[in-house]
Amino acid sequence: MVHVVAYNAEATLAQTLDRIPREVRAQLTEVCVYDDASSDNTVLVGEGYKATASGDWPVPLTIIKNPRNHGYGGNQKLGYRHAIDRGYDVVVMLHADGQYAPEEMAHLIQPILDGEADAVFGSRMMNKRDALKGGMPLYKWLGNQVLTRFENAALGMSLSEFHSGYRAYAVRTLAQIPFEANSDDFHFDTQIIIQLKAGGYRIKEVPIPTYYGSEISYVNGFKYAKDVVKSVIEFRRHEAGLEHRAEYAHSPLAKYTAKHSPFSSHHRIIEAVRPGSRVLDVGCAGGYIARALAERGCFVVGVDGRDDDAAREACARFHVADLDGGSWAPPEDEIDRGFDYILFGDVLEHLRDTSILSRCKAWLAPGGRVVASTGNVALWFMRLSLLLGRFRYAPRGILDETHVRLYTRDSFRRLVAGAGLRIVDEDVTVIPLEQLFARADQARIGGLLEQAEYSVARLWPSLFAYQVILQAEAGA
């Protein structure tokens, strides 16, 4: 299917349809012109073309006039839904103003038919000088390059341009991404690229000629640039678990992952445990901490509410138990000699019943310690968000959707002390910039920023600590 997006295109629509090659027409099931409530005669031109060109068209030509303007992105949504509902294999987006060459359509379709790509973009920038020769204004050329460089760096991609409106998609791929949650505005095109990247889909670029004629551009360049940058940042925040974005909810990112930063809770907890110790890892998830401790010669018993093959492999022993039930305890043979360390790494905020914290004192060896961490809901960022009226749960982080309790540094210290434990050491973590600077060439920048964060958080933990880590011993 060819999805022709049209708005006030009475002067160009017929010529654009004429330019679709005959050999391509023979491959098509439908050409569908979606007129987005134009104020001119675009629909009449389309209907007239349909009536007079039927002999040259071996494929149905459908003209649809939207009763209201849905916007550039909204109009695409209608066309893609049309293609999904009718079970098409490939859909090509073509602009009715003729800016993108219909003559190149076969090159967009073929990589999908050959099983080499899930989406194909016509790029004007694979040979950048050709775009200028084709009449692209210098300010647009520069803007395209600046935004593309930013997007590639932030997303870990290497596209020659993000801003071409000439695209072909495998319809099965569109059916698997939440494109209908995207904006109705022009940055829809950027959001769908991010969705493809997040879902691990294959994108291929093919060169296309650049043509700028007398068509009217409805894009506000500054607003478009701002929206593009905002979309990229929103995705990175979603990816880092700092907020939930419905348009990227299909991403196969693991909910909880190993934290590698030296200023993360995983690393700080691992460093707090003496090599060769007996350890009970409560809420061990995928065994991220247990695996590192086992490599240091520790005997690790893990327990979690869900079974996990990776955790079973990482731990010397592993139990599945309801930690929120208030009754679980390790088997007697595991606590005969007691544990040197009992870890509650980012787990207490998931429990309504925290009595396990006081009961675990009986499982400690003489001189043994409890090490517990939790998020600091009084972090400066959270305070600022509340001041602005925002309190949004996310897939991970302080406002993880599965958290049932939230703690400040003070309330967490009172929780631990109230369990009959004597706090003997305190550490902090910082906002996980490792999630935002994930590429190897950005690691140094992220590391320097985290070091600065950590220094400030140690000085003023109640305001700048992302998480609080407490070490405590049994006693008054």
What are 15-54's pLDDT values in tens digits?
999 999 989 998 999 999 999 999 999 999 999 998 887 6
pTM of the shown model: 0.69
pLDDT, tens digit, 9 for 90 and up, residues 406-428: 999 999 999 999 999 999 999 99
- pLDDT for res 335: 87
Range 180-192 average pLDDT:
95
- Distance, CA of 300 to CA of 283 (rounded, Å): 12
Least confident segment among 107-121, 357-371, 389-403: 389-403
- CA nearest neighbour of 373 among 397, 394, 392, 347: 347
**Is residue 132 very low, low, confident or very high in pLDDT (cuts 50, 70, 90)?**
confident
- pLDDT for res 254: 47
Paired strand residues for 3:
32, 93
Q: Is the pLDDT of residue 11 over 50?
A: yes
Range 311-339 average pLDDT:
92
**Is residue 245 very low, low, confident or very high in pLDDT (cuts 50, 70, 90)?**
confident
Q: Is the pLDDT of residue 141 over 50?
A: yes
Q: Is the pLDDT of residue 142 over 70?
A: yes
393 vs 108, higher pLDDT: 108
> What is the distance between the terminal CA atoms of the chain, rounded to a whole angstrom?
74
Element (H, E) at 181: none
- pLDDT for res 215: 55
Instruction: State phi, psi for 94 to the nearest 5 degrees.
Output: -130, 130
In the chain, where are the structural domains located? 2-248, 265-474
Architecture of the domain spanning 2-248: Alpha-Beta Complex (3.90)
- Distance, CA of 109 to CA of 168 (rounded, Å): 6
**Is residue 384 very low, low, confident or very high in pLDDT (cuts 50, 70, 90)?**
very high
329 vs 244, higher pLDDT: 329
Range 135-161 average pLDDT:
88
- Distance, CA of 299 to CA of 290 (rounded, Å): 9
Q: Under a CB-based contact definition with an 8 Å cutoff, are residues 281 and 316 in contact?
A: no
Residue that the structure tokens 């093919």 belong to: 206
**Is residue 115 very low, low, confident or very high in pLDDT (cuts 50, 70, 90)?**
very high
- pLDDT for res 258: 57
DSSP label at residue 123: E
Residue that the structure tokens 């305070």 belong to: 383
Q: Is the pLDDT of residue 311 over 90?
A: yes
Range 213-230 average pLDDT:
78
Q: Is the pLDDT of residue 250 over 90?
A: no
Distance of CA 301 to the CA centre of its chain: 33
Q: Can you give the C-alpha Rg of the chain in angstroms?
A: 29
Q: Which CATH class is domain 265-474?
A: alpha beta
